[in-house]
Homo-oligomer: A and B are copies of this chain.
Amino acid sequence: MTEVLVVDDEPSMLRALHLNLTARGYQVITAEDGTSALNKFGLHEPAVVVLDLGLPDIDGLDVIRAIRTGSQVPILVLSARVGSNDKVAALDLGADDYVTKPFDMNELLARLRAATRRGSPDAGRRKVVAFADVTVDLDSKQVLVAGEPVHLTRTEWHLLELLLHNPEKLITSRQLLIALRGQPDHTDPSYLRIYMAQLRKKLEPDPARPKHLLTEPGMGYRFTS
Protein backbone atom coordinates (compact mmCIF):
# COMPACT_ATOMS: atom_id res chain seq x y z
CA MET A 1 0.00 0.00 0.00
CA THR A 2 1.77 3.07 -1.24
CA GLU A 3 1.14 6.31 0.58
CA VAL A 4 0.99 9.46 -1.52
CA LEU A 5 0.77 13.02 -0.25
CA VAL A 6 -1.26 15.29 -2.53
CA VAL A 7 -0.93 19.04 -2.08
CA ASP A 8 -3.22 21.44 -3.93
CA ASP A 9 -5.25 24.45 -2.92
CA GLU A 10 -8.16 23.76 -5.25
CA PRO A 11 -10.65 21.43 -3.57
CA SER A 12 -11.96 20.17 -6.91
CA MET A 13 -8.51 19.18 -8.07
CA LEU A 14 -7.85 17.57 -4.73
CA ARG A 15 -11.02 15.57 -4.99
CA ALA A 16 -10.28 14.41 -8.53
CA LEU A 17 -6.81 13.26 -7.58
CA HIS A 18 -8.02 11.60 -4.42
CA LEU A 19 -10.64 9.69 -6.38
CA ASN A 20 -8.31 8.47 -9.10
CA LEU A 21 -5.47 7.60 -6.78
CA THR A 22 -7.53 5.62 -4.29
CA ALA A 23 -9.07 3.77 -7.24
CA ARG A 24 -5.56 2.61 -8.18
CA GLY A 25 -4.85 1.38 -4.69
CA TYR A 26 -2.89 4.30 -3.33
CA GLN A 27 -3.40 5.51 0.20
CA VAL A 28 -3.94 9.25 -0.16
CA ILE A 29 -3.08 12.02 2.27
CA THR A 30 -4.20 15.50 1.28
CA ALA A 31 -3.14 19.02 2.19
CA GLU A 32 -4.36 22.40 0.96
CA ASP A 33 -1.44 24.60 1.93
CA GLY A 34 2.29 24.41 2.48
CA THR A 35 2.22 24.41 6.25
CA SER A 36 -0.05 21.43 6.63
CA ALA A 37 1.73 19.75 3.74
CA LEU A 38 5.03 19.84 5.58
CA ASN A 39 3.37 18.83 8.81
CA LYS A 40 1.68 15.83 7.25
CA PHE A 41 4.83 14.94 5.38
CA GLY A 42 6.69 14.74 8.66
CA LEU A 43 3.96 12.66 10.26
CA HIS A 44 3.23 10.13 7.53
CA GLU A 45 6.43 9.91 5.50
CA PRO A 46 4.65 9.13 2.22
CA ALA A 47 6.37 7.22 -0.58
CA VAL A 48 5.72 10.00 -3.10
CA VAL A 49 4.52 13.61 -3.14
CA VAL A 50 2.30 15.33 -5.69
CA LEU A 51 2.74 19.06 -5.22
CA ASP A 52 0.96 22.01 -6.71
CA LEU A 53 3.24 25.05 -6.87
CA GLY A 54 0.53 27.67 -6.36
CA LEU A 55 -0.10 27.48 -2.64
CA PRO A 56 -1.69 30.21 -0.55
CA ASP A 57 0.88 30.44 2.24
CA ILE A 58 4.33 29.29 1.14
CA ASP A 59 5.97 29.36 -2.27
CA GLY A 60 5.91 25.87 -3.71
CA LEU A 61 9.63 26.06 -4.44
CA ASP A 62 10.28 26.58 -0.73
CA VAL A 63 8.23 23.48 0.00
CA ILE A 64 10.44 21.46 -2.35
CA ARG A 65 13.51 22.87 -0.66
CA ALA A 66 12.17 22.01 2.78
CA ILE A 67 11.34 18.44 1.82
CA ARG A 68 14.66 17.94 0.08
CA THR A 69 16.72 19.05 3.05
CA GLY A 70 15.53 15.97 4.86
CA SER A 71 14.31 13.44 2.31
CA GLN A 72 14.86 11.89 -1.12
CA VAL A 73 11.19 11.08 -1.61
CA PRO A 74 10.04 11.43 -5.25
CA ILE A 75 8.30 14.76 -5.85
CA LEU A 76 5.98 15.27 -8.79
CA VAL A 77 5.20 18.93 -9.36
CA LEU A 78 1.82 19.93 -10.69
CA SER A 79 1.48 23.49 -11.86
CA ALA A 80 -0.42 25.93 -13.99
CA ARG A 81 2.77 27.84 -14.69
CA VAL A 82 3.95 26.79 -18.13
CA GLY A 83 7.07 28.95 -18.34
CA SER A 84 10.32 27.03 -18.60
CA ASN A 85 11.84 29.10 -15.80
CA ASP A 86 9.55 27.59 -13.20
CA LYS A 87 10.14 24.12 -14.55
CA VAL A 88 13.90 24.48 -14.47
CA ALA A 89 13.82 25.94 -10.96
CA ALA A 90 11.60 23.19 -9.59
CA LEU A 91 13.52 20.38 -11.25
CA ASP A 92 16.89 21.74 -10.15
CA LEU A 93 15.64 22.09 -6.59
CA GLY A 94 15.08 18.37 -6.56
CA ALA A 95 11.66 17.76 -8.11
CA ASP A 96 11.49 14.54 -10.10
CA ASP A 97 8.87 15.54 -12.64
CA TYR A 98 6.84 18.55 -13.69
CA VAL A 99 3.36 18.33 -15.17
CA THR A 100 1.44 21.36 -16.37
CA LYS A 101 -2.27 21.81 -15.84
CA PRO A 102 -4.48 20.86 -17.46
CA PHE A 103 -3.15 17.33 -17.62
CA ASP A 104 -4.26 13.91 -18.69
CA MET A 105 -4.99 11.76 -15.68
CA ASN A 106 -3.61 8.60 -17.27
CA GLU A 107 -0.37 10.36 -18.06
CA LEU A 108 -0.10 11.63 -14.51
CA LEU A 109 -0.62 8.18 -13.12
CA ALA A 110 2.01 6.78 -15.45
CA ARG A 111 4.48 9.47 -14.39
CA LEU A 112 3.65 8.68 -10.79
CA ARG A 113 4.40 5.02 -11.39
CA ALA A 114 7.69 5.96 -13.06
CA ALA A 115 8.65 8.17 -10.13
CA THR A 116 7.83 5.58 -7.46
CA ARG A 117 9.45 2.77 -9.44
CA ARG A 118 12.78 4.57 -9.16
CA GLY A 119 12.47 5.34 -5.51
CA SER A 120 11.83 1.80 -4.34
CA PRO A 121 15.13 -0.02 -5.02
CA ASP A 122 17.20 1.82 -2.43
CA ALA A 123 14.53 1.73 0.25
CA GLY A 124 16.16 -1.07 2.15
CA ARG A 125 19.52 0.40 2.99
CA ARG A 126 20.18 1.28 6.55
CA LYS A 127 21.57 4.64 7.47
CA VAL A 128 23.38 5.06 10.73
CA VAL A 129 25.27 8.13 11.82
CA ALA A 130 27.68 8.07 14.72
CA PHE A 131 29.64 10.81 16.45
CA ALA A 132 31.26 11.10 19.85
CA ASP A 133 29.45 8.46 21.94
CA VAL A 134 26.19 8.96 20.07
CA THR A 135 24.69 6.56 17.56
CA VAL A 136 21.70 7.59 15.47
CA ASP A 137 19.75 5.08 13.41
CA LEU A 138 17.86 7.12 10.84
CA ASP A 139 15.73 4.16 9.80
CA SER A 140 14.47 2.88 13.12
CA LYS A 141 14.57 6.38 14.58
CA GLN A 142 16.59 5.33 17.56
CA VAL A 143 19.23 7.29 19.38
CA LEU A 144 21.86 5.77 21.62
CA VAL A 145 24.14 7.79 23.86
CA ALA A 146 26.94 5.76 25.42
CA GLY A 147 24.96 2.66 24.54
CA GLU A 148 21.87 3.82 26.39
CA PRO A 149 18.74 4.65 24.40
CA VAL A 150 17.67 8.28 24.65
CA HIS A 151 14.18 9.52 24.02
CA LEU A 152 13.67 12.46 21.65
CA THR A 153 10.41 14.31 21.13
CA ARG A 154 8.99 14.57 17.64
CA THR A 155 10.34 18.06 17.03
CA GLU A 156 13.73 17.22 18.45
CA TRP A 157 13.97 14.23 16.16
CA HIS A 158 12.80 16.16 13.15
CA LEU A 159 15.44 18.79 13.74
CA LEU A 160 18.18 16.23 14.28
CA GLU A 161 17.16 14.40 11.15
CA LEU A 162 17.41 17.54 9.05
CA LEU A 163 20.88 18.28 10.33
CA LEU A 164 22.12 14.71 9.96
CA HIS A 165 20.85 14.41 6.42
CA ASN A 166 23.11 17.27 5.43
CA PRO A 167 26.36 16.68 7.26
CA GLU A 168 28.96 19.45 7.24
CA LYS A 169 26.42 21.65 5.52
CA LEU A 170 25.05 24.88 6.84
CA ILE A 171 21.27 25.00 7.09
CA THR A 172 19.78 28.43 7.51
CA SER A 173 17.33 29.18 10.29
CA ARG A 174 14.81 29.95 7.59
CA GLN A 175 15.13 26.51 6.06
CA LEU A 176 14.82 24.85 9.43
CA LEU A 177 11.77 26.87 10.37
CA ILE A 178 10.05 26.10 7.08
CA ALA A 179 10.76 22.41 7.49
CA LEU A 180 9.67 22.29 11.11
CA ARG A 181 6.68 24.56 11.03
CA GLY A 182 5.99 25.78 7.52
CA GLN A 183 6.16 29.40 8.53
CA PRO A 184 9.48 31.01 7.64
CA ASP A 185 8.82 34.36 9.23
CA HIS A 186 6.50 35.79 11.84
CA THR A 187 8.04 33.26 14.18
CA ASP A 188 10.06 33.94 17.24
CA PRO A 189 13.60 32.97 16.28
CA SER A 190 14.11 31.74 19.83
CA TYR A 191 11.99 28.75 18.85
CA LEU A 192 14.93 27.09 17.15
CA ARG A 193 17.27 27.90 20.00
CA ILE A 194 15.17 26.02 22.52
CA TYR A 195 15.26 22.84 20.49
CA MET A 196 18.92 23.12 19.67
CA ALA A 197 19.57 23.54 23.39
CA GLN A 198 17.52 20.45 24.19
CA LEU A 199 19.26 18.41 21.53
CA ARG A 200 22.64 19.50 22.80
CA LYS A 201 21.63 18.75 26.35
CA LYS A 202 20.75 15.22 25.32
CA LEU A 203 23.52 14.50 22.83
CA GLU A 204 26.55 16.69 23.44
CA PRO A 205 29.05 15.67 26.12
CA ASP A 206 29.42 19.33 27.10
CA PRO A 207 26.23 21.14 26.05
CA ALA A 208 27.76 24.56 26.74
CA ARG A 209 30.59 23.90 24.28
CA PRO A 210 29.01 21.93 21.44
CA LYS A 211 31.37 20.10 19.11
CA HIS A 212 28.91 18.60 16.64
CA LEU A 213 25.73 20.65 16.66
CA LEU A 214 27.27 23.98 15.79
CA THR A 215 25.85 27.47 15.60
CA GLU A 216 26.89 29.74 12.75
CA PRO A 217 25.98 33.15 14.15
CA GLY A 218 23.66 35.10 11.94
CA MET A 219 23.44 32.24 9.45
CA GLY A 220 22.06 29.04 10.85
CA TYR A 221 23.23 25.68 12.17
CA ARG A 222 25.54 22.95 11.03
CA PHE A 223 26.14 19.33 11.99
CA THR A 224 29.64 18.00 11.88
CA SER A 225 30.92 14.66 13.06
Contact = CB atoms under 8 A, between A and B. Distances in A.
A111 B168 CA distance: 28
A117 B222 CA distance: 24
A87 B110 contact: yes
Given A91-B111, A95-B114, A96-B114, A153 B84 contact: no
A6 B114 CA distance: 21
A151 to B, nearest CB: 7
A219 B141 contact: yes
Contacts of A98: 111
Interface residues of A, number: 41
Give the number of copies in the complex. 2
B114 A91 contact: yes
A97 interface: yes
A91 B113 contact: yes
Contact of A218 (B95, B117, B153, B169): B153
A217 interface: yes
Interface in A172-193: none
A24 interface: no
Contacts of A117: 94
B107 A84 contact: yes
Contacts of A88: 106-107, 109-110
A139 B169 contact: yes
27 contacts: A72-B121, A84-B104, A84-B107, A84-B110, A85-B106, A87-B104, A87-B110, A88-B106, A88-B109, A91-B110, A91-B114, A92-B110, A92-B113, A92-B114, A97-B114, A98-B111, A118-B118, A121-B122, A139-B169, A140-B166, A141-B216, A151-B217, A153-B217, A153-B218, A154-B217, A154-B219, A157-B219
A142 interface: yes
Contact of A84 (B106, B114, B151): B106
Contacts of A21: none
Interface in A79-106: 84-85, 87-88, 91-92, 94-98, 104, 106
